[in-house]
Chain A
Amino acid sequence: MEPWPGCAIIWAAATYRMCPMLDTTMSVLVYAALAFVAAVGALELAALRGGLEGLAWPLGLRRRRLVYLFASLMIALSLCGGMLAGFLIAPPSPLLSAAAILVAIGLAVVVVIVGAAVRLRWNRRHRLELQEGKPVEVGPLRATFYQPEGKGPVPGLCLLPDPTAPGDDLGRLIQTLMQDRVAVLLFDWQSLRNADRLTLQGLVAVGVSHLARWPEIDSKRVGLLGVGLGGDLALRGAAMDPGVAAVLAMEPVLSPRRPGMGLDGLGDFSWFEAGRRAHRWRRSKLARELEALGAIPCIPPRPVAVLTGYLEGSDSKDGLDILRMSIACSFAPAAHTVAVMRVADWFKEHLVW
């Protein structure tokens, strides 16, 4: 009969025990490995509590029960392993043990951050398939036009992505709006490099007038929708152009101080991507120049709204609707179904009738 392979491990552990130097190294390594397992479980649990996709590894946060089960299993495994190790290897001294736990937590944070980045990158490959839009070029303006099926006239929306993150996936937002029979003109900032505030505002005005002249569009029902810094641009554009019937800004900046930095950025992105975006924000002159807060009073009585993840405060102020959500989504609000539904409902009420 073949000996059970576990015997070899126990024998090896018992041999190590006889050599004090090896015994100490071995016990520190074993306890550090066990603490690492526990730390991965604890971080997964923390990511679930805080809704931080950028800290969730190896599982994403969609299946909550599975995440709870996984985290509990990791912590239980670490505790049982510690108990078992206690029989085989003498535990390290308290100081060495504390050092091992600290190193294990640090290592777990690094591994989880890198692992979550790889997982999110893999997930992003599966983008939503949109019906093909019609490319539009008016002077320096590049955009894509999406028209809903059926006969017009339909309301139209100029969709302004964040100029500091022009490659963001807005497919879900566009699809939901088109299902509500709203035509969408998606601006493409990618061809512009270091465009200043005036150029961007000019392009918004060109886009709005171009959309209003489109044959299937009702020129009295053209609105503006902006995401992030694009939201600030939308508010500025609506304040200057009386032809804009309604405007909504999703998580606009409103002041030079960017909200949602720090861990909030890990709600949708990996630590690396969130860091890159934060860096771009800090360097962006546009965030300082737009001052969209000052533009808001010029927009009413036309409908104006801001969608935000901050829960505190009133829901309406001087004609401004504040749509509050219980999720922090400052970097990519359009990636959240809840946010998209609120936006679509608001436009349905104020633009579609």
Chain B
Amino acid sequence: MVEGVLRYYVTALCFVVALYQDLPVLVQQVLTFVAGPYAVPTALAMSLVVYWFGGKTMADRATGQRAVLRGLMAACVAGGLAVSVGLAWQRWTSELQVVEGWACWRGLPSGCPAAAVGFALGATFWRWNWRQGLWICAATGMWIVAQACCGVRYPLDALVGTVLGVIVGWSLGSISWLDRPLGVFIRLARWLMLA
């Protein structure tokens, strides 16, 4: 049964990679760039910088800063969970001997922390301002699709990461008592003239 699930996991990647190879070279190059660890993480980090510093009034800024802190917290939790899920999944499937010869084999599934982190951030921001959330989710989605196309990730890994990220981000975004500890942190940053 485990072997069947894993085979399905890997076959899905074959399908996506075959689609990718039919694309024009320029599109492939752009997708390779987007899939890398620079473009989208940098864009997300810069968005956080703008949300932290960029409100028009002190109240606007405080709301944005709370969203940024919640987003970072959700991203850490979701990333950690995704790594744990990946490790558990690897432990579960590591005893299989048959897999080495499969087409599109890229090693054991890993749980996709990138998708978990990005979508956790996106889901948290969606609760604050859906436009900002949509931008983060769209950027992360593009990143993960590009990674799957380039064969860096299994598509189902990305799906697991996405589900984890959205659940964690949405749940952490709705916990109201978190405002208090986050407020303490913001007050400390305000004391340092950085919030």
Asked if B49 and A262 sit within 8 Å, CB to CB, the answer is: no
**Which residue of the partner chain, among B33, B36, B41, B114, contacts A101 with CB atoms under 8 Å?**
B41
Residue tally, chain A, CB below 8 Å to B: 47
Q: Could you tell me the distance in whole angstroms from the C-beta of A341 to the nearest C-beta in chain B?
A: 21
Residue tally, chain B, CB below 8 Å to A: 29
A55: Cβ under 8 A from any B Cβ: yes
A45-B54, A46-B52, A51-B56 known; A35 and B42 CB under 8 Å?
Answer: yes
**Which residue of the partner chain, among B36, B49, B54, contacts A39 with CB atoms under 8 Å?**
B49
The SS class assigned to the B binding surface is: helix
Neighbouring B residues of A328 by C-beta, 8 Å? 57-58
A97: Cβ under 8 A from any B Cβ: yes
Say which one of A160-168, A236-244, A271-279 lies at the interface with B: A271-279
A35-B45, A49-B54 known; A86 and B193 CB under 8 Å?
Answer: no
**Which residue of the partner chain, among B38, B56, B189, contacts A82 with CB atoms under 8 Å?**
B38
Asked if B38 and A31 sit within 8 Å, CB to CB, the answer is: yes
A262-B193, A263-B195, A328-B57 known; A97 and B49 CB under 8 Å?
Answer: no
A55 to B195, CA, bound (A): 12
**Which residue of the partner chain, among B38, B49, B57, B191, contacts A91 with CB atoms under 8 Å?**
B38
A105 to B47, CA, bound (A): 12
B127: Cβ under 8 A from any A Cβ: no
Q: Could you tell me the distance in whole angstroms from the C-beta of B62 to the nearest C-beta in chain A?
A: 9
Asked if B50 and A45 sit within 8 Å, CB to CB, the answer is: yes
Greatest chain A CB density within 10 A among B53, B59, B114, B195 is at B53
B7: Cβ under 8 A from any A Cβ: no
Q: When each residue 40-73 of chain B gets 1 if its CB lies under 8 Å from chain A and 0 otherwise, what string results?
A: 0110011101101111111101000000000000
Q: Could you tell me the distance in whole angstroms from the C-beta of B61 to the nearest C-beta in chain A?
A: 6
B107: Cβ under 8 A from any A Cβ: no
A93 to B55, CA, bound (A): 33
A205 to B186, CA, bound (A): 42
A86-B36, A265-B193, A275-B193 known; A101 and B54 CB under 8 Å?
Answer: no
A266: Cβ under 8 A from any B Cβ: yes
B194: Cβ under 8 A from any A Cβ: yes
B32: Cβ under 8 A from any A Cβ: yes
Greatest chain A CB density within 10 A among B41, B56, B193 is at B193
A94: Cβ under 8 A from any B Cβ: yes
A42-B49, A49-B56, A328-B57 known; A278 and B37 CB under 8 Å?
Answer: no
Name the 4 nearest CB pairs between A and B, nearest first: A262-B190, A97-B37, A46-B53, A49-B54
Q: Can you list 13 A-B pairs, Cβ within 8 angstroms, ordered by A? A: A43-B53, A46-B54, A47-B53, A49-B54, A50-B61, A79-B39, A86-B33, A94-B37, A97-B37, A260-B58, A263-B58, A263-B61, A278-B193
The chain A residues found within 8 Å of chain B, CB to CB, are 31, 34-35, 38-39, 41-43, 45-47, 49-52, 55, 75, 78-79, 82-83, 85-86, 91-94, 97-98, 101-102, 105, 260-266, 271, 274-275, 278, 310-312, 328
